[in-house]
Structure 1
């Protein structure tokens, strides 16, 4: 199968823990995104050539939908068996991938993500990684950011 098709995501398990975010794929395997996510209130722009994964949780924060943006490594059948989805965008393209979550390719092999957690009706995380490191981000409202009380991956109440 091709590694360049859009693949719709399925619901995956989510566990928000002190050390990061754990995702349980449909096939039972897990992946762990390390670190407390850095809060973001507007547009997140990734460095060039980084893998970008967007996770939107449900209001209970125990399930979510995971989407790989412009992933060219993972074959469709693997994505389908894990429940992770994928969207492929050309330079200049924009797509609303979930309600309140938009991704675009501005050029230069970068990805931009904008999200409104209120419209998404859950928490919105972005994980950016390559072979040398990873970073985690969470979109928060302006009110949360201004109050200095932004939620982290460990706040599950």
Structure 2
């Protein structure tokens, strides 16, 4: 099978930890996306040639769906066995991958993600990584960031 086609996701387990986000794949294996996700309120643009993984949790925050964006390495059989989906976009294309979550393929092998957690009805995480680094992001409402800033200023 090809690694250049869309693959629908299945439900995966999610554990939100104080040191990262753990995903349990449908085959029972787990992976940990390390670090507290950085809050994003509007649009996230990834650096070029980085892997982009989007995770949207359900309202209970114990399960969700995950998609790899423009992943050309992972074989369909692996995606099928893990429950992770894949979306392939050509430059200039965009797709609403989940309600309230849109991904665009920009020039220079970059992705742009917009998300509204209220519409998604869960938490929206984006993990950006390559062989040397990984970054975690979470889309939050603007007022959630303002509240965090106010709390930090009171300390």
User: TM-score, normalising length from structure 2?
Assistant: 0.95
Match of 1:96 in 2: 96
Q: Which runs of 5+ in 2 are unaligned?
A: 150-155
Report runs of 4+ in structure 1 exceeding 2 Å deviation.
none
How many residues end up aligned between the 2 structures?
150
**TM-fit CA distance, 1:147:** 1.5
For each residue in 1:26-61, what CA deviation from the matched residue of structure 2 results, as whole angstroms up to 9, or x when unmatched? 000111100000000010000000000000000000
CA distance in 1, matches of 2:35, 2:64: 19
* Aligned partner of residue 73 in structure 1, secondary structure: coil
Match of 1:155 in 2: none
Match of 1:116 in 2: 116
Match of 1:7 in 2: 7
Match of 2:153 in 1: none
Pick the structure with greater CA Rg: 2
For each residue in 1:71-112, what CA deviation from the matched residue of structure 2 results, as whole angstroms up to 9, or x when unmatched? 000011110110000000000000000000000011110000
For each residue in 1:124-155, what CA deviation from the matched residue of structure 2 results, as whole angstroms up to 9, or x when unmatched? 00000000010000000011112227xxxxxx
Match of 1:71 in 2: 71
